[in-house]
Amino acid sequence: MKLEKVTNESAGRSRRYHDACGAAHGLDLVGERWALLVIRELMMGPRRFSDLRKDLCGLSANVLTQRLEGLEASGIVHKRKLPPPASVQVYELTDWGYEIKPVFMVLGRWAARSPQHVPTLPISAVSIMQSFETMFDPSKAAGAVMRLGFALDEDRMVVTVEDGEIATRRGEVEDGDVIVRAAPPIVAAAVYGKVPPAALEGEGAMSIEGDRAIFARFIDFFHLPEKAG
């Protein structure tokens, strides 16, 4: 048992870069496989363990537990119990943990230029919301004032656009100018693949309530960057 513990500790040390560069230490903190995606899923508020498992395809419960423990030990994530009537344990980012958000936006836009990027792969509700903030073109949104509700399977998200800025959050969707009901990949197909919403509605994959013209204009605020090379 003692030998196993020493071996595990040595392996942990060997995964560190032992480099004073801040970027190297950042990779010490979040460079493990799945760690950044766990952080991404916590960007819009606390989540239950089961919620994280559901939205991170291919991640086992054992590995998720390891990543959460590592992020908690690093001060990036903490867990708490919600008050009654929920009374469930959730994980959430610390104030310092939230500060990594701009890194996601820069990394996401940079990686979207890769010729190997496949935008049709599965995408979570949080991820599609993060992509809106990343790919938003304020020059196309001049003068726009709109509030959109997105019912993405079990998740409810609200997007507001005003004064050339975009904001996303969890929240009830009923008071939006337009409400879009669809799975996250279908929303991605409409926004980034430019598949006509009417066609998606005709297939029964999407439902739009309210002012369709607002959603049509909203879609034009987002375009994937040109591929590198």
Mean pLDDT of 106-132: 95
Q: Which residues pair with 90 in a beta bridge?
A: 80
Reported pTM: 0.88
In sequence order, what DSSP letters do the residues of 188-225 get, joined into one string?
A: HHHHTS---HHHHHHTTSEEEEE-HHHHHHHHTTB-PP
For 51-93, the pLDDT digits (tens) are: 999 999 899 999 999 999 999 999 999 999 988 887 899 999 9
Dihedral of the alpha carbons of 17, 19, 41, 186, in degrees to the nearest 10: -80
The continuous run of DSSP H or E covering 11 comes out as: helix 2-14
Largest CA distance in the chain: 66
Q: Which domains does the chain have, with CATH numbers?
A: 2-110 (1.10.10.10), 116-219 (3.30.1050.10)
Half-sphere exposure of 36 (CA within 13 A, CB side): 16
